[in-house]
Amino acid sequence: MTASSLPAWLERLGGVAFVVLVAILPLVLPGRFWPHVLAITMIYAILALGQNVITGWCGLLTLGQAAFLGLGAYTSALLTMNFGVPWPLALLAAGVVAGTCGALLAIPCLRVRSDFLSLVTIAFNQMFFVIANNWMGLTRGPMGLPSVPPMSLFGFDMRSQQAQFWTILGVAALIYFGVSRLTSGPIGRAWSMIRDDEIAARAAGVQVTFYKVLAFGVGCFICGLAGSLYAHFLRLVSPDMFNLEESLLMMQMAILGGLASVPGSALGAALMVLIPEALRSSEPWLITLRPGIAGALLVALMIWRPNGLLGAAGPERGPLHAVRGLVRTASLKLAMARTR
């Protein structure tokens, strides 16, 4: 809930117009490369939004979201491959499994704050990676799960790139719609209250623990849905797709676009996926600069727009005044980790 200057109906209209515009893209873009990159961008936009629910609105610095992406991906892939579950059901199951695990993980995690919470979630991410990499019987370990079936709706497999693109767009649009509704009402307000001042939130009647668990549950549910899209779009699941690097990327997207900003999450994802891909397609060696560019971007951001690109301007007036210190720490950690 940022202090937006646009009237609600105009924002809604802008959202619909944007979705329509994106839907036209695969028809007008030549070749298969850019539609593919855009589909990946949309999946990351979902992930950035899930991260943003937990970190931007509720103020919890979690750094293990790739584990929930992986949980969703493996759940969906295994259900469709081993049990013939139709994809829409597997998608939902992926969300539910990831969301439930997120909520369960949140319960012990809520005893620790800020820096410690990020350590616990990093540890969870590493545990997930180790298990996925070693449980040969279920995940085939580092060989991964090849030939995951494509997405399907009502029994029809979606083999064309365009159909897959639109399906991903549809799911992403629904998730963005849902999150804007959740965050613009009393639930989003309660999350922001907790982020800004836990003691005052309690005094105003907010059941803090419940809302933190809810934020984790919702954020990880969203992450799990993205996992299913990811698995069935790439037709492949392997453990190294869900390492800590991925978690850092999600956090970076959420911060870059603007914490507690719905359109900011999409913008952050677009920048972090499209710029490197544009570099790669013009001069392949430029991609090696990616971590450096990302780090420099974050440092510049913390100096000039500490609330993110679509967050409110000016350090003193931003809606994220309360978590700015937290975000600074996180950005520095990210910048260091990514330039390693």
Partner 1 sequence: MNALACEGVSKSFLGVAALSDVSLTVAPGETLGIIGPNGSGKTTLFNIMAGQLHADRGRIALSGRDVTGLAPHRIASLGLARTFQNLRLFAGLTALENVMAGGHLRAPTGVLGQLLRPPSVVRAERAAREEAAELLAEVGLGAHRTALPSQLSYGQTKRLELARALNIRPRVLLLDEPTAGMNDAQASEILDLVRRVKEKWKLTLIVIEHNVAVLTRFADRLFVLDAGRMVTKGAPFEVVRDRRVIEAYLGIGAA
With residue 153 as reference, give the H or E element that holds it: strand 152-153
Instruction: Classify residue 30 by burial, with Cβ atoms within 10 Å: 0-12, 13-18, 19+.
Output: exposed
Number of residues that bind partner 1 (CB under 8 A): 37
Interaction with partner 1 in 280-319: which residues (CB under 8 A)? 312, 316-319
Residue from 195, 212, 232, 338 touching partner 1 (CB under 8 A): that is 195
| Residue 80 token pair | 């469709």
Q: From the CB of 220, what's the least distance to partner 1, in Å?
A: 14
Contact between 204 and partner 1 per CB under 8 A? yes
CB 214 within 8 A of CB 104: no
Q: Which is nearer to partner 1, 62 or 192 (by Cβ)?
A: 192
Transcribe 289-318 into DSSP letters: GHHHHHHHHHHHHHHH-TT-TTSPSSTTT-
Token representation of residue 248: 């850092």
Q: Which of 21, 199, 283, 285 binds partner 1 (CB under 8 A)?
A: 199
Residue 205 to residues 23, 190, 202, 208, 214: CA-CA distances in angstroms?
43, 9, 5, 9, 16
Question: Rounded CA gap, 304 and 33, in Å?
Answer: 34
d(CA 141, CA 144): 6
| Per-residue contact string for residues 128-167; x = within reach of partner 1 by CB under 8 A | ----------------------------------------
Binding mask 232-271 for partner 1 (x = CB under 8 A): ----------------------------x-----------
Considering only 163, 208, 332, 337, the residue that binds partner 1 (CB under 8 A) is 208
**Of residues 187, 274, 287, 337, which one binds partner 1 by CB under 8 A?**
187
Q: Is 325 in the site for partner 1 (CB under 8 A)?
A: no
| Using rule CB under 8 A, residue 107 touches partner 1 | no
Instruction: Count the helix, strand and coil residues of the chain and give each as a percent rounded to the nearest 5.
Output: 75, 0, 20
**Sites of contact with partner 1 (CB under 8 A):** 1-3, 178, 181-182, 185-187, 189-190, 192-193, 195-197, 199-208, 214, 218, 260, 312, 316-322
